Amino acid sequence: MERFDAVVIGGGAAGLGSAYRMAENGMNVLLIERGENVGEKSVYGGRIYSWVFEKYVKGFQDAPVERWVKKERLTFLDERESVSIEYSSDETCSFVAILTKFNRWLAEKVEDAGGLVVSGIKVEDVRLNPLRVVADGEEIGCDAVVIAEGVNPMLAMKLGIRSDWKPEEVAVGVKEVFKLSESEVNSRFDVESDEGVANLFVGYPVFTHGGGFIYTNRDTISVGMVVRVDSAMKNKIEVYDLAEKFRAHRDVAGFLKGGSMIEYSAHLVPEAGIKGVPDALHKDNVMIVGDTAGFVLNRGFTIRGVDFAFYSGVLAADSIKEAMDGGDAGLAGQIYERKVRDSAIIGELEKFRKALDVLENTRFFNDYTRMMVEIMRGIFDVKEESNRLYDVVMEKSRGRKIRMALDFLSAFRGL
Amino acid sequence: MMKALVFAEKADHFNRISSKLKEMGFEVHGLSFAEANADHLYISEPNYDYASITAAMEKISDDVGPDLVVFSSTKLGKEVSARFAQRKNLPCITECLNLEVEGSSITVSRYSLGGKTIAKLRTSLPGVIAVVADAIEPSEQSFQMNIQDFEIPVSNQIRTVSREEKKREAVGLREADVIICIGRGLRKKEDIELVKELAEKLNAEIGCTRPLSHDYKWLPEERMIGLSGEKVSPKLLISIGVSGQIQHAVGIMNSKTVIAINTDENAPMREHSDYYVVGDLYEIIPELIRNL
Amino acid sequence: MKIAVCVKEVYNLEQVKIIKETREPILDVPKKLDDLSRNALEEAIKIREKLGGEVVAISAGSPDLKKTIKEALAMGADRAVIVTDCSNSTPESTALILSKILEKDSYDLIIMGDASSDDYSGQMASRIAEILGLPQITFVSEIKEVSEEKITCVRDMDDYLEVVEADLPCVLSVTNEINEPRIPALKDILKASKKPVETLSANDLGVEIPQPYEIIENLAPEIDRRQEVIEGDAGDVARKLAEIIRREA
């Protein structure tokens, strides 16, 4: 029987983070990915917060970053109009990447550091006492297993570490990539070649839990739509139809004009915040990381997942190392549990526990979005006569001022 | 005047190539196994040994001093062209579909990326190319027709134990007005009978994709349509159970109208079809036969 | 028996997309070991299983080869020699580089695919055999007999099948009908990670890479079909089809 210090299951950001850290620490690690190529199964809109890679990955400056996000834009859409809020800065804390490519690069880093990465192999089972991973009819022995199987937690469920997602805990996202030229991207978004835009959209055509996004890549743009599964089911929404409507909106279509769609993908995204994190993140020396553990934080205007995924992988790796160095490799699971609970991952998810309740309120996705657009129309619609801001706001909020005040207060506190 | 030296084991290929070269203004020299159109032609007994032909072409080339050496892009032609080019330390491009000369350089087109694209390459003369003879439309040209016998030097680098002509049906795929092309959507060999019935109704020839001829051997190789088989140009091509991989699609691109029947709504074949029927061929074809 | 198998990395062509407007291919896709290289490897491994000896995978390509060559090792090659600084290779340059590597050892057999599935140029066996002064048997669809001294093969040519024999050493190119390449299991892949890979540069080998041609353009052909989808029950569909057929045939 082949033996490794640790086996990592899944070649997304979480698994790669774990394998990379272990390889860097001189451990004998095997990563098994079921897709033909590592990273192939990863679908992500595009924006990644860079802190974790800057902190842990040697040579991160050579990573396949498409553009650094210098402009953040939040757009409220109704059928024909839009209101955008833009924040622009020379400072940046995030970049846009094509996650499949980025993960392929990370896999090379793992191999350069001495880790073994194997793809096109499906892990059938993880067995305890003694710890083994079963794939291709072979058993592989190891001291610890890191499950980074993404949003579809087959093995984690089998081991009873976590339960499956409920419809209100996940969203379905579709992403389309449109080819333009680098200079077209620059001029359409008014940015320099290495600068990018992250634009989130609320309102049309979903008007419920979810929204649209546009991220600028080097010479393509990623456009898509995310809708929570329960809302999609309740309102009988086909996310594909939404994506098509979204693309056709006058404030979106302009960015895509003349570009041809070169990629289409769909994926589930955990959306339950802290509520999607199971009580225990390990069983014996098997640990769950990344999406499998539910480490995704949606605050409405920012979504964090990839950085938490990678970071949780690092924490698992460090826990295994600490346990092995301490002479009892079997303690890794417990150490991991403690490390994650003490880390910024759980810290942040806890901090924004309330955000979930705020975002539960569909008025933000519908009524207030429409109102925002209507108020702007009221102010800027000048004919023979024009409107006072006060009158417009008063009229548009008639009969719902108290509820609105409460909603906005909760949003202010929660997000 | 620039000189070209041609070798093609088939006279038809030779004539297509030599007419093209003549049209481009070359003085055409050549080696063939039968009478063919050239200004200066060496005729020898048939010989299918690469080493012998390479040696013969080397000898003739040393006498003639050609700017361009052209082979027919058959398996034998490709094999010899590369060996000859290496011996003369010349660049070589095989599977050329088209050629143009500009001054002392030649531009050729060939499929690239498995047929997904067509690459245009330019190389300076002298050089070697192997041309897909069937891709050339022959033209009327007048040649000097100086013909002499030639004895190909014997080589025994490899020894031929036996040679057997492939049994070829006379297949009129290239001339057919209507072609029915079948692919892996057909479940078993016997089902070809159903297709034959339709073919008879339409007076159509039957062609197939590579797996059917080469892997399953349901139909003879000469019925294979695609990059490495026949390239057809019928008025109507009916494609049945064909996924439409690019290696196959290349063979049907010159068809006037393409109808495809496929169970998969999004098979690559769709892009290559004028009418794309989503459905089960086993239900549709019997109905279709009744309707014709 | 010492067998060299010349293998090639190719773009995963299934993933190559075409930009509709410009007809340009997008080549930013992973690479893989070419299918015909797998046929060549399979045949070499079968001979080794019968006669014993060593199978060495040899390749020239991009830095990605470090990864793709593992597929050859997982299939069963014992070791590999790769040159990773010739991304823009041509048959001319690859033949020179591979021959330099082949010259360093004495191989009984040198096997490769009859062409690669991307360029389909089919020059490698001839060029390498010429450089090394060896006989060649191309388009082999079956190896009838092989011993330490001699090999007998069936060649599948355009119009004829031919049985030929040659003394070793000899260069072979095989067709994709010759065998069904094995798919490595996890244990083969794990074993492969411990097999030696010698990585060289064209410079190490003293080869200057010739650039005999210039690529003027490389575009997808224009496809302009109506793509009208016909659905419905078989009867309706058949009536519509019959109408179209009567009109077009």
Residue C14 covered by a domain: yes
Q: Give the C-alpha separation, A120 to A125, whole Å.
A: 16
Residues on chain A bordering chain C, Cβ-to-Cβ distance under 8 angstroms: 2, 30, 32, 36-37, 101, 104, 108, 111, 116, 118, 121, 135-138, 140, 179, 258, 260, 262-263
Digit-coded pLDDT (tens) for C150-199: 999 999 999 999 999 999 999 999 999 999 999 999 999 999 999 999 99
Domains of chain B (ranges, CATH numbers)? 3-149 (3.40.50.620), 178-291 (3.40.50.1220)
Give me the DSSP letters along A283-336: ETTEEE-HHHHT--EE-SS-EE-HHHHHHHHHHHHHHHHHHHHTT-GGGHHHHH
In a domain, A52, yes or no: no
Position A303 confidence tier, pLDDT thresholds 50, 70, 90: confident
Tell me how close the Cα of B141 comes to any Cα of chain C, in angstroms.
28
Q: Who among C20, C187, C190 is closest to A260 (CB)?
A: C20
Q: 3-state SS of chain A: helix, strand, coil percent to 5?
A: 40, 30, 30
Chains that touch A (3 or more CB pairs under 8 A): C
C245 within some domain: no
Taking 80 as the threshold, does the pLDDT of residue A415 lie above it?
Answer: no
pLDDT band at B135 (very low <50, low <70, confident <90, very high): confident
**Weakest mean pLDDT among A58-62, A180-184, A376-380:** A376-380
Contact C213 B202 (CB under 8 A): no
Task: Determine the structural domain holding residue A255 and report its residue range.
Answer: 58-97+166-271
Burial class (CB in 10 A: 0-12, 13-18, 19+), C222: exposed
Residue where one domain finishes, among candidates A271, A300, A322: A271
Q: Which pLDDT score is estimated for B174? A: 86
Structure token pair of residue A320: 């295994």
Question: In the listed set A285, A313, A342, which residue is the last one of a domain according to the structure?
Answer: A342
Give me the sheet containing B117-124, strands edge to edge.
B98-102, B105-112, B117-124, C213-219
Q: What is the pLDDT of residue A345?
A: 95
State whether residue C203 sits within 8 Å of chain A by CB: no
Is pLDDT at B176 greater than 80 in this prediction?
yes
Quickly count: other Cβ atoms within 10 Å of residue A399's Cβ. 7
Question: Which pLDDT band, with edges at 50, 70 and 90, does B139 fall under?
Answer: very high
The verdict on residue A210 lying in a domain is yes
Mean pLDDT of chain B: 93
Q: Report yes or no on C241 lying in a domain.
A: no
Residue C244 counted as domain residue: no
The answer to whether position C55 is within a domain reads: yes
Q: What total of structural domains would you count in chain A? A: 3
Residue C206: inside a domain: yes
Asked if C19 has any chain B CB less than 8 Å from its own CB, the reply is no
Going by beta carbons, is chain A in contact with chain B, meaning 3 or more pairs sit under 8 Å apart?
A: no
Q: Are residues A174 and A236 in the same domain?
A: yes
Residues A241, A387 share a domain: no
Residue B241 has pLDDT above 80, yes or no: yes
Angle at A121 between CA A118 and CA A124, to 5 degrees: 125
- Type of residue at B42: Y
Spatial separation of the C-alpha atoms in residues A199 and A74, rounded to whole Å: 6
Q: What angle do CA C159, C160, C163 make, to 5 degrees?
A: 160
Residue where a domain stops, chosen among A239, A271, A303: A271
- pLDDT tens, B178-187? 999 999 999 9
In a domain, A306, yes or no: yes
Indicate the pairing of strand A94-96 with strand A67-77. antiparallel
pLDDT of residue A92: 93
Whether B33 shows a pLDDT value over 90: the answer reads yes
Q: How far apart are the first and last CA of chain B?
A: 59
Which of B89-93, B213-217, C37-41 has the lowest average pLDDT? B213-217
For the segment A292-305, the average pLDDT, to the nearest whole number, is 88
When pLDDT is cut at 50, 70 and 90, the band that residue A184 belongs to is: very high
Q: Does C190 contact A30 at a Cβ distance shorter than 8 Å?
A: yes
Residue C198 belongs to what domain range? 2-214
Asked if the Cβ–Cβ distance from C193 to A104 is below 8 Å, we say no
Q: What is the DSSP letter of C242?
A: H
**Left (φ > 0), alpha (ψ -120 to 50) or beta: where does A160 sit?**
left
In a domain, A51, yes or no: no
In this structure, are A206 and A155 located in the same domain?
no
Q: B171 pLDDT exceeds 80?
A: no
> Cα(C95)–Cα(C90) distance, rounded to whole angstroms?
8
Confidence band for A414, pLDDT divided at 50, 70 and 90: confident
Q: Which of B94, B117, B166 sits opposite C25 (nearest CB)?
A: B117
Q: Does a structural domain hold residue A79?
A: yes
Question: Which of B168, B278, B287 lies closest to C231 in CB terms?
Answer: B278
Residue of B17, B42, B263 lying closest to B139 (CA atoms): B17
Least Cα distance to A30 among A166, A146, A127, A108 occurs for A146
Residue C176 within a domain: yes
Distance from the B144 Cα atom to the nearest Cα atom in chain C, whole angstroms: 31
Partner residue facing A116 (CB), from C28, C67, C193: C193
- Please tell me which of A375-379, A380-384, C140-144 the model is most confident about, judged by mean pLDDT: C140-144
CB A247 within 8 A of CB A253: yes
Q: How far apart are CA B38 and CA B41, in angstroms?
A: 6
- Burial of A410: CB neighbours in 10 Å, binned 0-12, 13-18, 19+: middle
Token duo for residue A291: 């999406």
Subunits close to B (at least 3 CB pairs below 8 A): C
Q: Are A81 and A373 in contact (CB under 8 A)?
A: yes
pLDDT-based confidence at B263, cuts 50/70/90?
A: very high
Q: Among C125, C227, C237, whose Cβ lies nearest the Cβ of B273? A: C227
**Residue C243 belongs to a domain:** no
CATH number, domain with residue C58: 3.40.50.620
pLDDT tens track for B274-290: 999 999 999 999 999 99
Contact yes or no for A179 and C185 at CB 8 A = no
Provide mean pLDDT across the span A193-214: 90
CATH of the domain at A183: 3.30.9.90
> Which residues of chain C are modeled with pLDDT < 70?
none
Q: Across residues A318-343, what is the average pLDDT?
A: 95
- Asked if C26 lies within 8 A of A121 by C-beta distance, the reply is no
Cβ <8 Å between A118 and C185: no
pLDDT of residue A152: 92
Give A229-284 pLDDT, tens digit per residue: 888 888 888 888 888 899 999 999 999 998 888 888 888 989 889 999 999 999 99
Total CB pairs under 8 A between chain B and C:
232
Do A188 and A113 sit in the same domain of this protein? Answer: no
Interface A:C, Cβ pairs < 8 A = 39
Rounded Cα distance between A64 and A105, Å, is 7
Contacts within 8 Å (CB) and 24+ apart, A341-349: A343/A311, A343/A312, A343/A315, A344/A311, A345/A295, A345/A308, A345/A311, A345/A312, A345/A315, A346/A274, A346/A277, A348/A297, A348/A304, A348/A308, A349/A273, A349/A274, A349/A277, A349/A295, A349/A297
* CB within 8 Å: B118 and C219: yes
User: CB-CB: which of C123, C159, C244 is closest to B275?
Assistant: C244
In this prediction, residue B32 has a pLDDT band, given cuts at 50, 70 and 90, of very high
User: Length of chain B, please?
Assistant: 292
Token pair 């419920």 in the structure block, residue: A208
A56's enclosing H/E stretch is helix A51-56
A76-80, A155-159, B158-162, range with the lowest pLDDT = A76-80
Q: In chain C, what residues touch B265 (CB-CB under 8 Å)?
A: 229
A211 and A258 within one domain? yes
Residue B162 tokens read as 């036996």
DSSP state of B17: H
Predicted local confidence at residue C128, as pLDDT: 98
Determine how many CB atoms are found less than 10 A away from the CB of residue B197. Answer: 12
Q: At A85, phi and psi to the nearest 5?
A: -115, 130
What DSSP designation does B268 have?
G
To probe the interface with C, which of B47, B54, B159 has the most C CB atoms within 10 Å?
B159
Query: Is residue A329 in some structural domain?
Result: yes
Separation between Cα atoms, residue C77 and residue B187, nearest integer Å: 36
H helix or E strand, kind and range, residue A368: helix A367-380
C-alpha closest to that of A22 among A292, A336, A308: A336
* Whole-number percent of chain A with pLDDT over 70: 100
Distance CA B18, CA A352 (A): 79
Distance CA A107, CA A105 (A): 5
Same domain membership, residue A287 and residue A229? no
What's the CA gap between A359 and A365, in Å, rounded? 9
Q: How many CB atoms lie within 10 A of CB B257?
A: 20
Same domain, A298 and A369: no
C63 touches chain A (CB under 8 A): no
CB count in 10 Å sphere of residue A270:
25
Residue from C1, C8, C223 nearest C112 by CA: C8
Say how many domains are in chain C. 1
**More confident position, C241 or A415:** C241
A114, A39: one domain: yes
Residue A84: inside a domain: yes
Closest CA to A224 of A86, A98, A366, A44: A44
Over range A285-293, report the average pLDDT: 96
Residue A351 belongs to some domain of the structure: no
Tell me which amino acid residue A134 is. V
Does residue A119 surpass a pLDDT of 80?
A: yes
Given a cut of 90, whether residue B148 has pLDDT beyond it is: yes
State yes or no: chains A and C have 3 or more CB pairs below 8 A: yes
Contact (CB<8Å) C28/A101 = yes
Radius of gyration of chain A (CA): 23
